[in-house]
Amino acid sequence: MTFEAAQESAQRVVAELRLEENGSSEAAADQTSKKETGPEPVEGEICEVTELYKSQKSTCSCCTEWTEEKPFKEKRVEKKAETKHATFAINRRLEPHGSGLVGGGWKTNSLVIYSQRIRSSLEKVFEGYPISYASNRELVLRPPFTPFLHRWDDLIRVEQCESDPENKKHLKLLCETLRSELTESFQRLNDVKETGFAEFQDLALVLAPGDILVHNIDIGMQAGRLLEVDLIKREDEIYLNLRVDVVDWDGTKFGFRTISWKFHFYGGNRRISSLGIFPLHLHPDQQAIRNSLVKRGRKLESLCGIHFKTYSGPIEAVGYGSAQWFSADKLLRERVIIDTEGYYTLEKGYAPDMQPLEKPALNKTSLAPEDAFAFVSACPSELGEGPAVARDPNGLTDDQCLVTCCFARGFALQTRQWCKFPVDNIQDIHFVPGLMQKLVLDKDEKDLIIAFLNNDSRALAFDDFIPGKGERHLMG
């Protein structure tokens, strides 16, 4: 081996030793760094709110990317910004608002909840609400955050009752974050409650799922429990579609039936109590309205089964005419048979879909799983006429009577049509006592009339006298 070859070999050995030395020192430094920084934080565990801005340099036309820097200052888009910030409990995403990025401001696009502590607590806050926030891994909340306005008291209660210090800290952070977002909504809602007046845009804040709404219709009032509110915008109209639950009788059982009400757009401020649909708790005479509706609900409950009644007032007649189904409003004054089961079986051909009534008065822990929800069922008496025999001895509660349907179904004897009769206009048949004695006839003639009637009907019953029948008005 020449001297030059030996020198090159020695240099290679020295270089390899230096590389090994540098590698071990870097590994040691890396290990030291890991020891100093500790383990990587868990998603959503840092109890802070971090802000991300909508990027103007998105690499994908169909996706929105978020960056730590304001777009007019950013030099490059951080694609991993969201992943990096997922360790924070809440991400506030901001988007440009106003004229231009530099001159304008920023508004909240959404709040992304990464904290599992918050998500699990929201299940308690929104129990019974039509929207659930508990099951999503990445929970995205968008303005105007109306559900949190409706359940604000529940959110505060859950936060105050939380025993775990870390969970309480995360919930307090959520409350503080939402409070700043809901400031204007709180002010508008308070103004409505103080003044009793509301604009159309305020109704989404006022009408909360679970509230009892009262609808003024031609025949009176119909109450229902609000499920959800949808704003519908069309070229020719703007309205709120309100889905509500009412308690109805299908001939065999009581249950909740879901119906829809239209709340049309109006301009300016209007008094809440004068609107066609209003929340019961905001009406000045709410107790009187409640008592009246509960009383009517009890009356509908008493009309289960088959009953012979007299009716005077408007009706909604249904049937087939010219090979088409028709529904017409008429005025009626005659004897009727209340028979909801017959109405659905013989005329409609089907019963409405209904959900079982909840039984809050019962202790559900003592019930079998299949009995946790139950129908209030009844069947006609064996004699055909009279009140139904309820299987639930307690019957309907006052809250259920409050939202019962305002119609009973049956058959008009003289008109010979199946109809929907407003409950308030259904009355008992009142017989005039001693009617034959009041007739201005000789006794022999009275006896003859009674003999003919008994022979013809083969019965002693005679009820063909309707109060007011035979009255005439002379017009000159």
Task: Give the Cβ contact number of residue 148 at 10 Å.
Answer: 22
Cis peptide bond N-terminal to 144, omega within 30: yes
In this prediction the pTM is: 0.69
Residues 6+ apart with CB under 8 A from 26: none
User: 341 and 314 in one domain?
Assistant: yes
CA-to-CA separations, 429 to 41, 109, 295, 310, in angstroms, rounded: 78, 65, 20, 6
- Cβ atoms 427, 312 nearer than 8 A: yes
Query: Is residue 125 classed exposed, middle or buried when 0-12, 13-18 and 19+ CB atoms within 10 A define those classes?
Result: buried
**Are 232 and 129 within one domain?**
no
- Is 435:251 a contact under the CB 8 Å cutoff? no
In contact, 207 and 226? CB cutoff 8 Å: yes
Q: Examine the domain organization and report whether 227 and 330 are in the same domain.
A: yes
The predicted pLDDT at position 321 comes to 46
* Residues 235 and 295 grouped into a single domain: yes
Claim to verify: residue 113 and residue 232 sit in the same structural domain: no
Residue 459: inside a domain, yes or no? Answer: no
**14 plus 64 within the same structural domain:** no
Residues 270 and 414 in one domain: yes
Residue 348 lies in a domain: yes
User: Which residues fall within 8 angstroms of residue 75, CB to CB, at 6 or more apart?
Assistant: 69
Residue 446 lies in a domain: no
In terms of residue numbers, what domain contains 3?
1-39
Instruction: Name residue 97's beta-bridge partners.
Output: 105
Does 85 map to a domain?
yes
Query: Does 123 lie in the same domain as 22?
Result: no
| pLDDT the model gives residue 92 | 85
One domain for residues 256 and 116: no
Would you give per-residue pLDDT tens digits along the chain (476 residues)? 554 555 566 566 556 655 555 555 555 455 544 445 555 655 556 665 555 556 655 555 555 655 555 555 444 444 455 555 567 788 888 887 665 545 457 788 888 888 888 988 998 899 888 877 766 567 889 999 999 999 999 999 999 999 999 999 999 999 999 999 999 999 999 999 999 999 999 999 999 999 999 999 888 899 999 999 999 999 889 999 999 999 999 999 999 999 999 999 999 999 999 999 999 999 999 999 999 999 999 999 999 999 999 999 888 766 544 444 445 567 888 999 999 999 999 887 788 889 998 644 323 333 333 332 233 333 333 334 444 434 455 689 999 999 999 999 999 999 888 989 999 999 999 887 777 777 788 888 888 888 887 776 555 455 555 555 555 555 54
Residues 359 and 279 in one domain: yes
Asked whether residue 26 is domain-assigned, the answer is yes
**Quick check: is 440 in a domain?**
no
Q: Are residues 68 and 127 in the same domain?
A: yes
439, part of any domain = no
Domain count, the chain: 3
Among 391, 408, 431, where does a domain finish?
Answer: 431
Spatial separation of the C-alpha atoms in residues 5 and 8, rounded to whole Å: 5
